[in-house]
Amino acid sequence: MNIVIAGAGQVGYSLAKALMEENEVTIIDSREAAIEEIDASLDVLSIYGNVEDSFTYRNIQKDIDLFIAVTNSDEVNLLSCLIIDNIVNVKEKIVRLRNDLFFNENIKNKLGISTMIAPAQDVAEHFNYLADFPHINNVKTFDFTKAFLLSVRAYKEFESALIATFINKFDNKIIVAGIERDEKFFIPGESDIFMPNDLIYFLAFPSAINSLKEIFSDISDKQDVKNCIVYGANQVGIEVSRVLANKNLNVKLIDKNLKNCQNANSILKNSVEVIKSSFDMDSAIENSFASINVFIASTMDDEFNIIKCIEAKQKGIKKVIGINNSAKYSTLMRKLGIEVIRGEKMSAYYSILENMNAFKIITQKTFCGEEGTIYLREIKQDSKLLNAKLSINNKIIDKGNFYVQRDKKFILYKNIETLLQDDILIVFAQKKDSKLISNWLKQ
């Protein structure tokens, strides 16, 4: 593909690095230092210029497969979509936005945008399930199945259990997507065993999720969520607080910057108590609720988030969540018993890649710090796989776990004769095998 990226910040740089091996990538930025870094480290075409200036695009090929606008300005991202249309032919456009005001179908259609990414809202969406399922660590949803991809930590005194025996108890409404054990991720077979302290990833229907609470949580973890503290009144912190307040939870949003607090107060309109205070844990607890069920560190500084989450755990807060802004800290955070939610920039990066890799017929999402990938392919009326079946060749037979979702149940792929309409073909694989599995699914 011929791809043009507007903006060479953290997201733009990461996208260029991920895409350059199999695509022709051009990246544009008006900061000389950013372009110098691109030239020194990436095999892409860099252009020093303003993405709002049509002159910047003069040397770009006339046919572009994908334009990705990820500058730090919504207005610049949208305007660049309009300008590039007058210079070259663009098949698809993906735009990152921060302001809800621009996130609507009218703007999307008028500017010919294929996909709008709202990373702060995407981050906050994970917290929609916090009140309903406080025992789970993370939730990913999909457009065409009601099943959730989620993770659960097995407590220290958990008794080891055979996966096959465990799955049979759930009437095929749950499957194991992967396990992180001793900092290593793997895709387990049904003959493998759950162990204490495992971080276990499941694909499960909502009706089965509450049962996981009784199995993997100890008594002290089986508390309802009522009172939450959010550290950091940035955009993510504001969106998270809004979601929690809409779930009728008591929320206190804390920031040491007065302007951040004033902005948060204006947006949240008194639905959340916003407090200007130093990020001191003792002070936060003293001035908070009688009991705190959840602590969330949502600043842009991962090291700070880690420190505050550790302090919160030491104060006896059971559910501690850290917003993760850099992939290099995600494994450490999980090792320390901190629940990890991708931050705004990481969410934008992964969302864009997942949208690109979907190929219209395949949905792809990564989990466990990109170590695991889930692929889903829906069998529609016009699918060439309808009443057929892809054979699992020797190259991929041991590279993943293969299932079919049918009638709200999961069936081992090897146990079906053919794929039927409305079936969903599901594969779990490790990162190193992702290309192999993706090519197989695209047949």
Handedness of CA 281, 138, 349, 94 (dihedral sign): negative
Rounded percentage of the chain residues whose pLDDT exceeds 70: 97
Instruction: State how far Cα 30 lies from the chain centre.
Output: 29
What pTM value is reported for the model?
A: 0.87
Q: What's the token pair of residue 18?
A: 């991920």
How high is the mean pLDDT of the chain? 90
H-run or E-run covering 163: helix 163-168
pLDDT number for residue 358: 57
Q: Does CATH place domain 348-441 in 1.10.357?
A: no
Question: How far apart, in whole angstroms, are the C-alpha atoms of residue 380 and residue 195?
Answer: 39
* pLDDT for 327: 85
Q: How many CA atoms lie within 13 A of 412 on its CB side?
A: 8
Q: Which CATH superfamily is domain 138-221 in?
A: Regulator of K+ conductance, C-terminal domain (3.30.70.1450)
Identify the helix (H) or strand (E) that includes residue 32: helix 32-41
pLDDT band, residue 143 (cuts 50/70/90): confident
Listed in order, the ranges of the chain carrying CATH 3.40.50.720 are 2-117, 228-342
Cα–Cα distance list, 104 to 97, 111, 116, 117, 350 (Å): 11, 11, 9, 11, 21
Tens of pLDDT, residues 73-132: 999 999 999 999 888 899 999 999 988 788 888 888 889 999 999 999 999 998 988 888
CB 11 within 8 A of CB 40: no
The pLDDT tens digits for 309-367 are 999 999 888 889 999 998 889 989 998 989 999 999 999 998 898 887 655 678 888 99
For residue 360, the model assigns a pLDDT of 62
Q: Does domain 228-342 have CATH number 3.40.50.720?
A: yes
Report pLDDT digits (tens) over 364-419.
Answer: 889 998 899 999 999 999 888 999 999 988 889 889 999 999 988 999 999 999 99
Q: 152 — phi, psi (to 5°)?
A: -140, 140
Say what the pLDDT of residue 22 is.
Answer: 86
Per-residue pLDDT, 75: 94
Amino acid in position 54: S
Helix (H, G, I), strand (E, B) or coil at 102: helix
Q: What is the pLDDT of residues 232-251, one digit of tens each?
A: 999 999 999 999 999 999 99
Gap between the Cα atoms of 18 and 11, Å rounded: 11
Indicate the CATH number of 2-117 among 3.40.50.720, 3.30.1330.60, 3.40.50.2300, 2.60.120.10.
Answer: 3.40.50.720
What is residue 59's predicted lDDT score, i.e. its pLDDT? 82
pLDDT at 223 over 70: no
